[in-house]
Structure 1
Amino acid sequence: MKRRTLLASGAAAAALGLTGLPALAQDAKTKVGFIFVGPVGDGGWTYQHNEGRLAVEQEFGDKVETMFVESVPEGPDAVRVMTDMALKGANLIFTTSFGYMDQTVEVAAKFPDVKFEHATGFKDAPNLATYSARFYEGRAVQGHIAGHMTKSNVIGYIGSFPIPEVIRGINSSYLAAKAVNPDVQFKIVWAYTWFDPAKEAEAANVLIEQGADVILQHTDSTAPQAAAQAKGDVITFGQASDMAEYAPNPRVSSIIDNWAPYYIDRTRAVMDGTWETHQVWEGIGDGMVKIGEISDAVPAEVKASAEALRDSIGAGETHPFTGPLNKQDGSAWLAEGETADDGTLQGMNFYVEGIEGDIPS
């Protein structure tokens, strides 16, 4: 059903915040809101989510109205922004960062007639769904290329926050690099931000000073690309979006988060009344994770093997976490041929054997 909200007064709005939104008119536009953790022009994570928003507009035309708020801090202020969006008549709200999880749960409980979707989280409700991508699959392809191309055998990784998603990415890329280059070492710098070009550039430069000639990042700006380009002999990979302006070198490939089909599908479900809560975790095979073009800076044989790995992961023939594997402390984790289960991956709080350093608490 298409819905429209009329907010008569401040008192009525406050009441709606406790009781949910009333039934809405059949001929109104469906309103879809997006809460973004960074600016839409970040070139990475938020940029790609906003591309999904624009795809919703293109798909449905004047049947929908989208709204967004960018650079919303993770924490209490997110409650205010989500509440305001619901009171403005949003029928569906996407909250697009892990740190919005508890705030999304809180606001969803106050607006039972609004549908909420939280990216990368694990808490749901009758009107709250979760969705994420298997980014670690793309990290394996990056690690494969990185392991082949490093000359110093030092690969740097810029971590955002020590949450399972980022730890999975570090482990996956390390294992793939180690599989093709037993001498590889990982250096990890935690930036404690999703988007801060100055901090990200500083992290990249620290890693380069430590001997890294390959930089992987789990932060959202293109600053590490620029730092590598200034250095001249360091390669990088686009994060969340293609960052193709830095191709063919230093950016030799990328992970692309393809949210558009999901956003279109879930908007359509609200419009036709079939929306239900769920927990979705899709990867290369589903098209939610894509590997950006591998540039000519990568040797042809490495490009071919990386594409073969991508296709094998997408077909379900290869799992980035396949035993025998130990945890960092040497304790057994996966037996020969055993693959990691989703529950362990979603809560991953340990490094695999071979990675040095501690995970910050």
Structure 2
Amino acid sequence: MTFHISRRTLLAGSTATAATLALPRGARAEGPLKVAYVYVGPIGDHGYSYSHDQGRKAVEVKFADRVKVTYVENVAEGPDSERVIRQLATAGNDLVFATSFGFMNPTIRVAKQFPKVKFEHATGYQKASNVAIYNARFYEGRAVIGTIAGLMSKTGVAGYVASFPIPEVVMGINAFTLAARKVRPDMKVKVIWLNTWYDPGKEADAAKALMDGGADVLVQHVDSPATMQVAESRGAYAFGQASDMARFAPKAHLTALVNDWAPYYLERVKQALDGSWQSGDVWWGLKEGMVKLAPYNPALPENVRAAADKVKADITSGALHPFTGPIKDQKGSLRLADGQRIGDADLLKMDWFVEGVQS
């Protein structure tokens, strides 16, 4: 059973939830487990919110009438998200998944008011006794596509359409650049910041500007397929974001960084149902299957496939960490010595760019 509640309805205090608003804070009514998802973009973005929603659908299929699922899409980070998350808790939801980085502080504040409600926040770093955090090692997949980009580019310039300069995005740009420069030392990565996760018009304009600046390979950390479509129309290569976007650009799309949240959601809902749920901290990647690569474009040469597969296999086995020194930053200063690997704590606060990034 699924309910789609619009952001406007929640913020207006719709009478649709009047019956449940009378429940005591944190109380759970008898019956199905009530699970809610909060998305920063539309579920039709074909990117990040879409990939989370595929996980929600897997929960519904697996648990059927044992769960009652609600989702709210297009929730802006900031005050709006806090009001939405609080309304979902007030409405009697037992488990709330807040899926964007900017929902972190609002989730923590609401969780303090609803100690009996379980909250999960994606891509953040603050926990509480009733707040778990989960994240994907997106940067591992970025290292694979960086390898492909370095081998496929003719101009030696990649264009990166980026959302916000937060650690998740910064480490992705860096991982991509490091991998590309391993196979092509003169590779440059030009970045345009949009300060939005989803705006097809801005994404398309940025992609065009990057190509006008010499990029023949486009990468994105925004959620619509607009970048892919620009690459397709102008004969460039590109990589999808969060899901397989090949249908939007069958010639340009070389592969995509795919987020598979379903196994995590299935496990956490199961734990909420059987009473074993506890706060935790999960950061999974290629090894665990939370990060995957979409099928390669048939036109990708065999040597490029082999190089990408080796990077993927070595990361999965632990033989390779994408951030292994020597690594210099944009100013030429040594950040990691030869053989040194950056730790997770430093990755999660990364605010500097490696050599080769033009941001």
Q: TM-score range by the shorter chain?
A: over 0.9
1:112 is paired with a residue of what secondary structure? coil
- CA–CA separation in structure 1 for the residues paired with 2:20 and 2:26: 14
- CA–CA separation in structure 2 for the residues paired with 1:78 and 1:333: 37
1:275 is paired with a residue of what secondary structure? coil
Aligned to 1:128: 131
- CA–CA separation in structure 1 for the residues paired with 2:200 and 2:162: 13
User: Which of 331, 339, 350 is the aligned partner of 1:337?
Assistant: 339
User: Which of 32, 38, 42 is the aligned partner of 2:41?
Assistant: 38
Offset of residue 254 of structure 1:
0.5
Deviations 1:202-251 (A, max 9, x none): 110010110100000000000111111111x2011110011120354211
- CA–CA separation in structure 2 for the residues paired with 1:326 and 1:295: 33
2:116 is paired with a residue of what secondary structure? coil
Offset of residue 117 of structure 1:
0.4
2:107 is paired with a residue of what secondary structure? helix
CA contact (8 A) 2:35 2:68 kept: yes
Per mean C-alpha deviation after superposition, the further-off stretch among 171-180 and 322-331 is: 322-331
Aligned to 2:352: 350
Query: Residue 160 in 1 paired to residue 163 in 2?
Result: yes
Q: What TM-score do you get using the length of structure 2 for normalisation?
A: 0.93
4+ residue runs over 6 A deviation: none
Query: Residue 295 in 1 paired to residue 307 in 2?
Result: no
Cα distance change, pair 23–221 in 1 and its aligned pair in 2 (3 A) = closer
Q: What TM-score do you get using the length of structure 1 for normalisation?
A: 0.92
User: Which of 93, 108, 113 is the aligned partner of 1:105?
Assistant: 108
Aligned to 1:304: 306
- CA–CA separation in structure 1 for the residues paired with 2:147 and 2:19: 58
Q: Which residues of structure 2 form unaligned runs of 5+?
A: 1-16
Aligned to 1:22: 27
Aligned letter for 2:300?
V
Aligned letter for 2:350?
M
Offset of residue 32 of structure 1:
0.7
Cα distance change, pair 9–229 in 1 and its aligned pair in 2 (3 A) = closer
1:165-180 mapped onto 2 (5 Å cutoff): 165-180=168-183
Aligned to 2:61: 58
- CA–CA separation in structure 2 for the residues paired with 1:319 and 1:95: 29
Offset of residue 335 of structure 1:
1.5
CA contact (8 A) 1:43 1:221 kept: yes
User: Which of 200, 207, 210 is the aligned partner of 2:203?
Assistant: 200
Aligned to 1:3: none
Cα distance change, pair 229–112 in 1 and its aligned pair in 2 (3 A) = same
Offset of residue 324 of structure 1:
1.1
- CA–CA separation in structure 1 for the residues paired with 2:53 and 2:152: 33
Q: Which residues of structure 1 form unaligned runs of 5+?
A: 1-5
- CA–CA separation in structure 1 for the residues paired with 2:343 and 2:186: 28
1:249 is paired with a residue of what secondary structure? coil
- CA–CA separation in structure 2 for the residues paired with 1:303 and 1:51: 28
Offset of residue 297 of structure 1:
2.1
Offset of residue 24 of structure 1:
3.8
CA contact (8 A) 1:248 1:297 kept: no
Aligned letter for 1:22?
A
- CA–CA separation in structure 2 for the residues paired with 1:72 and 1:346: 24
CA contact (8 A) 1:143 1:175 kept: yes
Per mean C-alpha deviation after superposition, the further-off stretch among 150-159 and 246-255 is: 246-255
1:246-325 mapped onto 2 (5 Å cutoff): 246=248, 248-325=250-327
Cα distance change, pair 191–9 in 1 and its aligned pair in 2 (3 A) = closer
Offset of residue 9 of structure 1:
8.1
Aligned letter for 1:144?
T
- CA–CA separation in structure 2 for the residues paired with 1:114 and 1:74: 21
- CA–CA separation in structure 2 for the residues paired with 1:223 and 1:133: 23
Query: Residue 213 in 1 paired to residue 226 in 2?
Result: no
